[in-house]
Amino acid sequence: MKFNRRTFLKLGAAGAASLGLEKALTGSSDAMELIMGGAEVSRTTGKHLKPVPSTCLNCYARCGNYGFNAYGTLIKIGPNPEHPNSRGRMCAKGQAALNLLYDPDRILYPMKRVGPRGEGKWERISWEEAYSSIAEKMKGILEGGNPEEFVFQSDRDITTADFIERFVHAFGSPNAFVHHPLGGANKQTAQRLTWGEDYEIPDVANTEYMLIFGSNPFEAHYLRTSFVQRMTEARSLRYVGSDLLRAKAKMVTFDVRLTQTSGRSDEWHPIVPGTDGVVALAMCHVIMEEGLEDRSFLRKWTNYSPEKLKKHLKQYTPKVAEEISGVQASEIARIAKEFAVSKPATTISTGGATKHHNGVYTERCIALLNIITGNIDNRGGYCLPKSFTFREPAPVPPVPRRKSKLSSSATYPLAGTELHHRVLPLIKEGRQTVKLYMTYQHNPVYAHPEGKMIAQILKDEDLIPFYVCIDSFMTESAALSDLILPSATFVERLELETPPAFEMVPFVSLRQPMVPPLGESVQISNILIELAHRIGGKMSSYFDFTTEEYLRQRIAHIRPLTKSGGLSFLKKNGVFYDQSMKPQYDTYKKKGFNTPSGKIEIYSSRMEAQGFHPLPIYDPIPTHQSIKSGEFYMIIHQWMVHTHDRTANCMWLSEIIHENPVYINAKTAAKYNLENHDRVKVISKVGEIETHVQIVEGIHPQVLAIGDSCGHWEFGRIAQAKAFKSNDPNTRLLWWEKKESGFFAEEVRGKGNGVHPKPIIPIISDPIGGGQCWMDTKVRIKKV
Ligand code: SF4
| Ranges 4-13, 69-78, 117-126: which has the least confidence | 4-13
CA-based diameter of the chain, in Å? 77
Q: How many Å apart are CA 552 and CA 496, to the nearest integer?
A: 10
Residue whose CA is at the smallest distance from ligand 1 atom 1: 225
- In the DSSP assignment, the letter for residue 400 is P
Note the pLDDT of residue 746.
40
Q: Which atom of ligand 1 is nearest to the CA of 224?
A: 1
Note the pLDDT of residue 262.
97
pLDDT for 454-482, tens place per residue? 999 999 999 999 999 999 999 999 999 99
- Centre of ligand 1 to C-alpha 224, Å, is 7
Best residue for ligand 1 mutational test, from 62, 66, 93 (most atoms within 8 Å of Cβ): 93
Note the pLDDT of residue 14.
35
Q: What three-state secondary structure class fits 149?
A: helix
Q: Which atom of ligand 1 is nearest to the CA of 89?
A: 5
The sign of the dihedral angle between the CA atoms of 405, 411, 417, 420 is negative
Note the pLDDT of residue 751.
72
Q: Looking at the predicted structure, is the pLDDT value of residue 758 above 70?
A: yes
Best residue for ligand 1 mutational test, from 57, 63, 76 (most atoms within 8 Å of Cβ): 63
Q: Looking at the predicted structure, is the pLDDT value of residue 3 above 70?
A: no
Best residue for ligand 1 mutational test, from 76, 225, 229, 509 (most atoms within 8 Å of Cβ): 225
Q: Which atom of ligand 1 is nearest to the CA of 58?
A: 7
Pairing of strands 267-270, 345-349: unpaired
Q: How many Å apart are CA 719 and CA 69, to the nearest integer?
A: 26
Task: Please state whether the peptide bond connecting residue 116 to the residue before it is cis, i.e. omega within 30 degrees of 0.
Answer: no
Instruction: Work out the mean pLDDT of the chain and round it to a whole number.
Output: 91
Which neighbouring-strand residues pair with 55? 64
pLDDT for 571-586, tens place per residue? 999 999 999 999 999 9
Q: How many Å apart are CA 704 and CA 780, to the nearest integer?
A: 10
What mean pLDDT do residues 699-711 have? 96
Q: What is the CA radius of gyration of the chain?
A: 26
Q: How many Å apart are CA 640 and CA 635, to the nearest integer?
A: 16
Note the pLDDT of residue 5.
35
Q: How many Å apart are CA 288 and CA 276, to the nearest integer?
A: 19
Query: Do the Cβ atoms of 705 and 257 come closer than 8 Å?
Result: yes
Helices (H), 574-636: 588-591, 605-609, 622-625
Q: What three-state secondary structure class fits 246?
A: strand
Pairing of strands 777-783, 679-684: antiparallel
Note the pLDDT of residue 6.
38
Q: Which atom of ligand 1 is nearest to the CA of 62?
A: 3
Note the pLDDT of residue 247.
64
Q: Looking at the predicted structure, is the pLDDT value of residue 599 above 50?
A: yes
- Centre of ligand 1 to C-alpha 553, Å, is 27
Between the alpha carbon of residue 687 and those of residues 451, 706, 757, 761, the distances in Å are 10, 15, 10, 8
Q: How many Å apart are CA 443 and CA 427, to the nearest integer?
A: 17
Q: In percent, how much of the chain has pLDDT > 90?
A: 84
- Centre of ligand 1 to C-alpha 53, Å, is 15
Note the pLDDT of residue 238.
64
Q: What three-state secondary structure class fits 510?
A: strand
- Which of 554, 639, 646 minimizes the C-alpha distance to 154? 646
- Centre of ligand 1 to C-alpha 164, Å, is 24
- Centre of ligand 1 to C-alpha 130, Å, is 33
Residue type, 775: M
Q: Which atom of ligand 1 is nearest to the CA of 79?
A: 5
pLDDT for 46-103, tens place per residue? 888 889 999 999 999 999 999 999 888 999 999 999 999 999 999 999 999 999 999 9
Element (H, E) at 5: helix 5-11
- Which of 82, 74, 83 minimizes the C-alpha distance to 49? 74
What mean pLDDT do residues 98-113 have? 98
Note the pLDDT of residue 246.
61
What mean pLDDT do residues 702-726 have? 96
Q: How many Å apart are CA 663 and CA 682, to the nearest integer?
A: 11
Q: Which atom of ligand 1 is nearest to the CA of 93?
A: 7
Contacts of 506 (CB under 8 A, 6+ apart): 386, 387, 388, 498, 577, 584
Burial status of residue 111 (CB atoms within 10 A of its CB: 0-12, 13-18, 19 or more): buried
Contacts of 522 (CB under 8 A, 6+ apart): 127, 485, 486, 487, 488
Pairing of strands 345-349, 209-213: parallel
Q: How many Å apart are CA 261 and CA 182, to the nearest integer?
A: 20
pLDDT for 629-663, tens place per residue? 899 999 999 999 999 999 999 999 999 999 999 99
- Centre of ligand 1 to C-alpha 523, Å, is 21
What mean pLDDT do residues 607-628 have? 94
Best residue for ligand 1 mutational test, from 54, 56, 221 (most atoms within 8 Å of Cβ): 56
Query: Do the Cβ atoms of 355 and 173 come closer than 8 Å?
Result: no
Q: Looking at the predicted structure, is the pLDDT value of residue 21 above 90?
A: no
Q: Which atom of ligand 1 is nearest to the CA of 90?
A: 5
Task: Kindly indicate the confidence band of residue 504, based on its pLDDT and cuts at 50, 70 and 90.
Answer: very high
Residue whose CA is at the smallest distance from ligand 1 atom 8: 94
Task: Kindly indicate the confidence band of residue 24, based on its pLDDT and cuts at 50, 70 and 90.
Answer: very low
Contacts of 502 (CB under 8 A, 6+ apart): 84, 85, 201, 203, 205, 223, 226, 227, 230
Residues in the chain: 784
The alpha carbon of residue 451 and the mean position of all alpha carbons in its chain are separated, in whole angstroms, by 20
Contacts of 20 (CB under 8 A, 6+ apart): 239, 242, 244
Note the pLDDT of residue 181.
59
Which neighbouring-strand residues pair with 53? 66
Q: Looking at the predicted structure, is the pLDDT value of residue 424 above 80?
A: yes
pLDDT for 275-323, tens place per residue? 999 999 999 999 999 999 999 999 999 999 999 999 999 999 999 999 9
- Centre of ligand 1 to C-alpha 89, Å, is 9
- Centre of ligand 1 to C-alpha 414, Å, is 31
- Centre of ligand 1 to C-alpha 357, Å, is 30
Note the pLDDT of residue 13.
37
- Centre of ligand 1 to C-alpha 92, Å, is 8
Note the pLDDT of residue 623.
87
Residue whose CA is at the smallest distance from ligand 1 atom 2: 59
The dihedrals phi and psi of 164, each to the nearest 5 degrees, come to -65, -40
| Ranges 28-37, 662-671, 715-724: which has the least confidence | 28-37
Q: Which atom of ligand 1 is nearest to the CA of 91?
A: 6
Q: What three-state secondary structure class fits 186?
A: helix
Q: How many Å apart are CA 746 and CA 17, to the nearest integer?
A: 51
- Centre of ligand 1 to C-alpha 61, Å, is 6
pLDDT for 545-569, tens place per residue? 999 999 999 999 999 999 999 999 9
- Centre of ligand 1 to C-alpha 721, Å, is 24
- Centre of ligand 1 to C-alpha 77, Å, is 11
Ligand 1-lining residues (CB < 6 angstroms) = 56, 58-59, 61-63, 86, 90-91, 93-94, 224-225
Query: Do the Cβ atoms of 774 and 449 come closer than 8 Å?
Result: yes
Q: Looking at the predicted structure, is the pLDDT value of residue 27 above 60?
A: no
Q: Which atom of ligand 1 is nearest to the CA of 643?
A: 7
- Centre of ligand 1 to C-alpha 755, Å, is 25
Q: Which atom of ligand 1 is nearest to the CA of 95?
A: 5
The full DSSP string for 255-294 is ESB--HHHHHSSEEEE--TT-HHHHHHHHHHHHHHTT-S-
Residue whose CA is at the smallest distance from ligand 1 atom 3: 62
pTM value? Answer: 0.92
Q: Looking at the predicted structure, is the pLDDT value of residue 740 above 90?
A: no
Best residue for ligand 1 mutational test, from 54, 91, 639 (most atoms within 8 Å of Cβ): 91
Residue whose CA is at the smallest distance from ligand 1 atom 4: 63
- Centre of ligand 1 to C-alpha 94, Å, is 5
Q: Which atom of ligand 1 is nearest to the CA of 55?
A: 3
Note the pLDDT of residue 37.
61
The alpha carbon of residue 616 and the mean position of all alpha carbons in its chain are separated, in whole angstroms, by 25
Q: Looking at the predicted structure, is the pLDDT value of residue 777 above 70?
A: yes
Sheet holding 51-55, edge to edge: 51-55, 64-70, 73-79
Q: How many Å apart are CA 722 and CA 740, to the nearest integer?
A: 11
CA angle 342, 343, 344 (to 5 degrees): 120
Q: How many Å apart are CA 775 and CA 636, to the nearest integer?
A: 7
Residue type, 445: V
- Centre of ligand 1 to C-alpha 225, Å, is 6
